[in-house]
Amino acid sequence: MALLLSPEQELIKKVVADFARQDLAPDATRMDRESVFLREHVAKMAPLGLLGMFVPPERGGAGTDTLSFVVAVEEVASVSGTDAMYMILQNALVTNLAAQLMNDPEDEALLRSLLKGEALAACAISEEASGAQPDMIRTTVKPKGGLLEIKGAKSFVAMAGVADTYLVLCRGPSGPQFVAVPKGAKGLHFSPSESKLGLRGLPLADMYLNGVEVPASAALGESGEGWKLLDAPTDLARLGVASALVGLTQGALDMAIDFAKGRVQFGQPIAKFGAIRAMIADVQAELEAARATTYGAAALRDSQKEFKEEVLEARLLAHRIAIRGTKIAHKIHGGAGFMRDLPLERMSRDVRTLMHVWDAQDVTRSRLADLLLG
């Protein structure tokens, strides 16, 4: 994989890897056990440009390419699935969309506060009955006496109740449109945060907008363009999830290798046993295939080429090796792998949760088949 990375990308990989081990890993278990999101992690990510990797430098972002994003997510995921998921949400959706939709001075100030980690924003897209299908969105936004009135509900909103601003996808007069809604808006309510299998440090709840009124300036972009803007960022988010699955699996495999070298049975480390060596070699080979496909999809996007098919291929390979790799890591650890004192138990749950973000495996396979076979 080193052949695919430029010297700048290799530097990003090293810097983010060191940062993740030193600043994120120590809190990863606490976030999981207490189901708490640590806002200080956002403040630590900001100086490295990890919150606006696709935002141009002249607007306060890092202005990096897709492959750099993929590499950075992978390194963060190798120690913390929750932080990696937050990075994906912020870069693929929140700041990416904000940079396209926010253009007046007041919006620009909000964008820069997001990039500095001073404010948090989230996207509210999916709905219970329709997912995120644009023609089925039921949350509405309508003019009302110089204001905009929003009525509806959103499901599975990441960072619900924690973020300061929400980019809400609504059905406007001419079609889908995003509207910025502040956390304290009258009529805005959240359900209790869901208790999830994995990614437990990332809040997830439903949002209810009971006649929420916001200024007309809160409408982002033109009515009808919301879904058009969302399509490409969603594919980018899918690519980020593939990278996160690769990173989590690499982290689990690295732990299994260290354990095998230190665990002595029958007078020698179990790393000397043929069966253990074969399992580790198989996982590493399959993991490199998933990584190569993920990097390749990122490189296609950077070349302004269509990359939807390659994203789905990366997701499928990452799905498979993530399940197989974490299962083998547990097998090598024996009973110790299921103890909550080791990060492996948490990472396995994070893998299984990530696999259902932006399409489960069967849905991914079906989407790919549609592209290939029509």
Q: Report the alpha-carbon distance of residue 325 to residue 337 in Å, rounded.
A: 13
CATH topology of domain 121-223: Butyryl-CoA Dehydrogenase, subunit A; domain 2 (2.40.110)
How is residue 114 written in tokens? Answer: 């997001």
Q: Which CATH class is domain 2-115?
A: mainly alpha
Q: What b/e sequence results for 228-242 when a residue is b if at least 16 CB atoms lie within 10 Å of its CB, and e otherwise?
A: ebbeebbbbbbbbbb
Q: How confident is the model at residue 220 (pLDDT cuts 50, 70, 90)?
A: confident
Q: Report the alpha-carbon distance of residue 310 to residue 303 in Å, rounded.
A: 13
Q: Report the alpha-carbon distance of residue 216 to residue 220 in Å, rounded.
A: 9
Q: Render pLDDT for 52-88 as a digit per residue (tens, 0 to 9).
A: 999 999 999 999 999 999 999 999 999 999 999 999 9
Q: Report the alpha-carbon distance of residue 153 to residue 14 in Å, rounded.
A: 42
Q: Which of 252, 239, 235, 206 is nearest to 350 (CA)?
A: 252
Comma-separated ranges of CATH 1.10.540.10 domains in the chain: 2-115
pLDDT computed for residue 227 by the predictor: 60
Beta strands in 104-185 (DSSP E): 121-124, 140-144, 147-158, 165-172, 175-182
Q: Scanning the structure block, which residue is given the tokens 């110089």? A: 146
Q: Scanning the structure block, which residue is given the tokens 């640590």? A: 38
Cα–Cα distances (Å) from 280 to 19, 81, 249, 321, in that order, read: 27, 22, 12, 12
Comma-separated ranges of CATH 2.40.110.10 domains in the chain: 121-223
Comma-separated ranges of CATH 1.20.140.10 domains in the chain: 227-373
Q: For residues 69 and 298, is the Cβ–Cβ distance under 8 A?
A: yes
Q: Confirm or reject CATH 1.20.140.10 for domain 227-373, answering yes or no.
A: yes
Q: How confident is the model at residue 349 (pLDDT cuts 50, 70, 90)?
A: very high
Q: Scanning the structure block, which residue is given the tokens 């889908």? A: 176
Q: Please indicate, yes or no, whether the overall pTM of this predicted structure exceeds 0.85.
A: yes
pLDDT computed for residue 173 by the predictor: 82
Q: Render pLDDT for 239-276 as a digit per residue (tens, 0 to 9).
A: 999 999 999 999 999 999 999 999 999 999 999 999 99
Q: With the C-alpha atoms ordered 148, 149, 152, 155, is the resulting torsion angle positive or negative?
A: positive
Lowest mean pLDDT among 162-166, 222-226, 330-334: 222-226
Phi, psi of 177 (to 5 degrees): -150, 140
Q: With the C-alpha atoms ordered 338, 340, 343, 349, is the resulting torsion angle positive or negative?
A: positive
